[in-house]
Amino acid sequence: MSDIRVTVPPLDELKEAFAKFDTESSGAIPVHDLGALLRSVGVVELKEDDLQALISEEMFDKNFDLPEFLALMVEIGHTLPAPGTEKKELRKAFKAADSDKDGYLTPDELRQAMDGMAAEPLGDDEFQVMLDECRRDAEIEEGEPIKIDAAVRFFLTS
């Protein structure tokens, strides 16, 4: 994960969003509404598993009050990458691998970029499948280089 962080919305925006989900005006919302509340304030990168990891086990059968929500937002603000970070990192890695700086990647350049980003390099068969899917997605014939923008789009949507 990048060291760039999500900007937590201003306190008044968080309180307003919380109030919209507090339909009974009880000062609390059911925990099962928390994901929707977080998305409403712009936290779209948080996956269900990540949300569950942030909320303690004993909280799942209870309601979430405003102070707990605000504390969670502070925690999230310190753990999620800023929106667009992944796209920037992909573009940077692909440009670094583009040896002739023409905006296109040969299979070898794409392999170099992928190996540099992956925790574990792809096997030859895995790389070939990924390369074929990327070419198919970008409507590129075999043997033609892949435009960097098309490669970024492919990896963000696959």
b/e per residue 9-43 (b: at least 16 CB within 10 A): beeeebeebbeebbeeeeebbebeebeebbebbeb
Specify the fold of 85-157. Answer: Recoverin; domain 1 (1.10.238)
* Model confidence pLDDT, tens digit, residues 111-123: 988 887 766 777 8
What fold characterizes domain 11-77? Recoverin; domain 1 (1.10.238)
The 10s digit of each residue's pLDDT in 70-103 is 777 766 664 555 556 678 888 888 999 999 999 9
In the chain, where are the structural domains located?
A: 11-77, 85-157
Question: One fold for both 11-77 and 85-157?
Answer: yes
Q: Examine the pLDDT at 42 and tell me if it is beyond 80.
A: no
**Is 49 a residue whose pLDDT tops 50?**
yes
